[in-house]
């Protein structure tokens, strides 16, 4: 399992996840499969709670967002339109020996002595040439000369056949009458060809750690050339050079990496029984595109109008070059995405007279005069509020505004919400810098425009309010707004490769359409990863503290301080003793009282202190203990239970009849 071994906290977290059934490696009994993870009983509950909270917050508790559940495999043209077929790639480099790949921007820097070779020639070939040539010089010198010859050959371009023939004819004519001379030249050519045919021209280098002899590099090089069909290679052009902090060598094999090449991250498969290029389909690398593709159907079938959003939760697949940091970068994962469609700023201005920019925002209650900047800011705040509401304090989050040079060409602004994971890099002050949990992008009208062009189906909306407002504008305003809209559309068409004349014609049509109340909506996209959020919640919840055991002796306790809203189990119901039927009966009654409203765990095994510890370690926020007082041993305590709080271990005596409202208040 490729885990960050150097991070002791992560090691503890990974180990707890397995021990207590949060997360297991997929296919573990077969040695696992890199980049795939399964959620155990507690992980499944945690994940379900998180997705439900997101869904409720983003759709059910709002009037302006509806849901969608689309297929994973869709028409392949969707991925052409979105740009994923052509550009969804990471630059990666391959170790030519092990074939292992690394992301070009993530190669660990290394130092040492690089031993390099320009290529090799087969020893057998060299020996057989020596037998024919029978060099007059001493054996070694003849051999060395031949090796030099071979080195020259592997580092120079081979002569094309036609040129060789012409040369042979020239030699024959020039050496007429001197057969021996001609034979010599022809023999030279023959030897050259033999060396060419039985050599490898691929350079190879390996980085030796201090103290390692060059012989070990030669062994690795022999293995490399052996795999290219040259058995017993004579290595050519060996050189040694000191190397400092170089990103050019594979971190495991220490072999020099090949040049960076793009590697598309989409998983391909075949649709239907015939394997052919026409039947290629992809496992979706994001859930967002289905939302764009179904935009018109949702609009036409629901009582929504712009501004409104479509939300979706679902699986996504990316053949990541280097899955890493536990579940953080997986190959199969889940996303929670919202596409929130808004009017273009020109339409807002026509209707409201002006557009509120982010810096003028007086309130975060949506207003009719909000343009993309205000909506974008609004969603950043909404999403941060969501994270705080499920237990990630603002201090653990970073709001990172992408720099202009980092933005996708169609994006106007993107904010990444980062969480400070234990494996995040640290800045100069030693502060964790954080890793992306969610991106909130203002994507202009790029996506719907692309689908309109590729599918040939209109993606625009008709806005009666805009049509009416436009009619009341003076001519100067009409001209100004139409020009701005025209210029933005023209820019989009040109950037996406539409030929100039057509781009101008289409942009003019779109600007004319705006005057009639038509436009392609713009979109704000808050896009979050479920698995990353689960990992953030787990990392944030993990604590070790000191608590007294049953005899009052302090001991180290592992406690998962999940927010009660996300905790996999909300309450554990514990009869003090399991061999007292009255206690058990009462405890089961309490369990059944709570069960319809929350996930309850009933545990009657072992000493009560040990049972509390088990619940602490899986993050159960409340334990309810049924004891003899519950049964009326002290009459004034009849039908009361102890309610224990996980974080401080304190206990309250609570009437059974008060239990449900008390707990509901905490977990909702």
Write the CA distances from 564 to 24, 49, 622, 650, integer angstroms.
23, 10, 9, 16
- Identify the helix (H) or strand (E) that includes residue 340: strand 332-342
Q: Which of residues 196-215 bind ligand GAP (CB under 6 A)?
A: none
Q: How far is CA 404 from the centre of its chain?
A: 22
Is residue 330 within the footprint of ligand GAP (CB under 6 A)?
Answer: yes
Q: Are strands 65-67 and 308-317 parallel, antiparallel or unpaired?
A: parallel
Indicate the residue among 43 and 575 with the shorter CB distance to ligand GAP: 43
Tell me the closest approach of the beta carbon of residue 335 to ligand GAP, in angstroms: 5
CB of 508 to ligand GAP, least distance (A): 31
Among 13, 104, 288, 298, the residue binding ligand GAP under the rule CB under 6 A is: 288
Residue 310 lies near ligand GAP (rule: CB under 6 A): no
- x-or-dash pattern for ligand GAP, window 489-528, by CB under 6 A? --------------------------------------xx
Three-state secondary-structure class, residue 102: strand
- Locate 336 and state its tokens: 């929670």
Could you give the CA distance from residue 320 to residue 267 in angstroms, rounded to a whole number?
Answer: 10
When asked if residue 314 is in the footprint of ligand GAP (CB under 6 A), the reply is no
For the bound state, the minimum distance from the C-beta of residue 318 to ligand GAP, rounded and expressed in Å, comes to 5
Burial class (CB in 10 A: 0-12, 13-18, 19+), 644: buried
329 binds ligand GAP (CB under 6 A): yes
- For residue 577, the SS3 value is coil
Binding of ligand GAP by 529 (CB under 6 A): yes
Min CB(70)–ligand GAP separation in Å? 13
Give the C-alpha separation, 59 to 61, whole Å: 6
The smaller minimum CB distance to ligand GAP, of residues 88 and 117, is found at 88
318 near ligand GAP, rule: CB under 6 A: yes
**C-beta neighbour count of 372 within 10 angstroms:** 23
- Tell which positions 420-439 bind ligand GAP, by CB under 6 A: 436-439
State which of residues 45, 90, 447, 531 lies at the interface with ligand GAP (CB under 6 A): 531
* CB distance 664 to 600 below 8 Å: no
CA–CA separation, 11 vs 544, rounded Å? Answer: 14
Please choose, out of 86-94, 187-195, 332-340, 554-562, the segment that lies near ligand GAP by the rule CB under 6 A: 332-340
- Residue whose entry in the numeric block shows the structure tokens 């072999």: 255
| Binding positions for ligand GAP, 436-475, rule CB under 6 A | 436-439
Total number of residues binding ligand GAP (CB under 6 A)? 18
Residues 6+ away with beta carbon under 8 Å from 505: none
The nearest distance, CB 156 to ligand GAP, in angstroms, is 45
- Count of alpha carbons within 13 angstroms of residue 332, beta-carbon side: 11
Q: In residues, how long is the chain?
A: 668
Name the residue with tokens 């719907």. 448
Q: Closer to ligand GAP at the Cβ: 106 or 192?
A: 106
619 binds ligand GAP (CB under 6 A): no
Q: 20 or 329: whose CB is closer to ligand GAP?
A: 329
Does the protein bind ligand GAP through residue 397 (CB under 6 A)?
A: no
Tokens of 662: 């008390």
Over the window 568 to 607, marking each residue x when it contacts ligand GAP by CB under 6 A and - when it does not, the resulting string is ----------------------------------------
Cβ–Cβ < 8 Å for 413, 402: yes
Beta-bridge partners for 625: 574, 642
What is the nearest approach in angstroms of ligand GAP to the Cβ of residue 415?
11
Residue of 282, 290, 291 lying closest to 318 (CA atoms): 282
Tell me if 640 contacts ligand GAP by CB under 6 A: no
List residues binding ligand GAP (CB under 6 A).
Answer: 286, 288, 318, 320, 329-330, 333, 335, 337, 436-439, 527-529, 531-532
């Amino acid at each position: 399992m490729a885990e960050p071994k150097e991070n002791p906290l992560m090691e503890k977290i990974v180990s707890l996840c397995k021990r207590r059934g949060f997360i297991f490696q997929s296919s573990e009994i077969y040695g696992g499969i890199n980049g795939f993870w399964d959620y155990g009983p507690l992980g499944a509950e945690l994940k379900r709670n998180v997705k439900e909270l997101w869904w409720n917050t983003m759709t059910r508790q709002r009037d302006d967002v509806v849901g969608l559940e689309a297929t994973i495999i869709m028409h392949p043209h969707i991925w052409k339109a979105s740009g994923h077929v052509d550009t969804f790639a990471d630059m990666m480099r391959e170790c030519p020996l092990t074939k292992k790949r690394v992301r070009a921007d993530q190669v660990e820097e290394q130092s040492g002595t690089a031993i390099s070779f320009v290529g090799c020639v087969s020893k057998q070939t060299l020996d057989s040439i020596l037998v024919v040539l029978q060099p007059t010089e001493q054996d070694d010198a003849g051999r060395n000369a031949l090796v030099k010859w071979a080195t020259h050959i592997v580092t120079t371009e081979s002569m094309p056949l036609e040129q060789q023939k012409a040369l042979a004819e020239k030699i024959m004519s020039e050496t007429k009458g001197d057969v021996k001379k001609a034979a010599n030249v022809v023999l030279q050519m023959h030897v050259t060809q033999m060396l060419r045919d039985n050599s490898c021209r691929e350079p190879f280098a390996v980085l030796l750690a201090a103290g390692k002899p060059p012989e070990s590099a030669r062994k690795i090089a022999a293995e490399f050339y052996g795999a290219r069909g040259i058995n017993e290679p004579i290595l050519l052009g060996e050189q040694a050079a000191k190397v400092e902090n170089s990103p050019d060598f594979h971190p495991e094999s220490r072999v020099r990496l090949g040049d960076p090449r793009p590697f598309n991250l989409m998983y391909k498969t075949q649709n239907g029984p015939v394997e052919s290029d026409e039947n290629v389909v992809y496992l979706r690398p994001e859930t967002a595109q289905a939302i764009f593709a179904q935009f018109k159907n949702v609009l036409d079938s629901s009582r929504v109008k712009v501004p409104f959003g479509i939300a979706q939760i679902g699986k996504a697949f990316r053949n990541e070059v280097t899955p890493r940091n536990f579940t953080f970068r997986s190959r199969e994962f889940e996303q929670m995405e919202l596409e929130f469609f808004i009017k273009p700023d020109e339409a807002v201005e026509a209707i409201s007279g002006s557009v509120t920019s982010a810096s003028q925002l007086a309130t975060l209650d949506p207003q009719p005069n909000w343009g993309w900047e205000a909506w974008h800011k609004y969603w950043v705040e909404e999403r941060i509020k969501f994270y705080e509401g499920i237990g990630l304090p603002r201090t653990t989050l970073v709001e990172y505004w992408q720099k202009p040079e980092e933005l996708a060409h169609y994006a106007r602004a993107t904010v990444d919400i980062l969480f400070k994971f234990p494996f995040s890099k640290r800045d100069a002050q030693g502060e964790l810098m954080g890793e992306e949990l969610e991106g909130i992008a203002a994507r202009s009208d790029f996506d719907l425009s692309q689908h309109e062009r590729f599918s040939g189906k209109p993606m625009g909306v008709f806005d009666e309010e805009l049509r009416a407002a436009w009619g009341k504008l003076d001519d100067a305003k009409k001209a100004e707004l139409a020009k701005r809209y025209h210029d933005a559309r023209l820019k989009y068409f040109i950037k996406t490769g539409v030929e100039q004349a057509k781009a101008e014609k289409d942009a003019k049509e779109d600007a004319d359409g705006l005057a009639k109340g038509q436009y392609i909506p713009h979109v704000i996209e808050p896009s979050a990863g479920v698995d990353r959020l689960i990992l953030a919640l787990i990392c944030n919840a993990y604590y070790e503290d000191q608590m007294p055991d049953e005899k009052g002796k302090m001991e180290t306790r592992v406690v998962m301080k999940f927010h009660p809203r996300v905790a996999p189990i909300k309450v554990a119901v514990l009869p003090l003793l399991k061999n007292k039927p009255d206690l058990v009966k009462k405890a089961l009654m309490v369990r059944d009282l709570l069960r319809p409203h929350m996930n309850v765990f009933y545990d009657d095994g072992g000493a009560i202190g040990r049972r509390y510890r088990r619940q602490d370690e899986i993050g159960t926020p409340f334990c309810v203990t049924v004891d003899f007082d519950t049964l009326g041993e002290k009459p004034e305590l009849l039908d009361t239970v102890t309610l224990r709080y996980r974080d401080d271990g304190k206990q309250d005596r609570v009437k059974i009849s008060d239990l449900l409202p008390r707990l509901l208040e905490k977990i909702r």
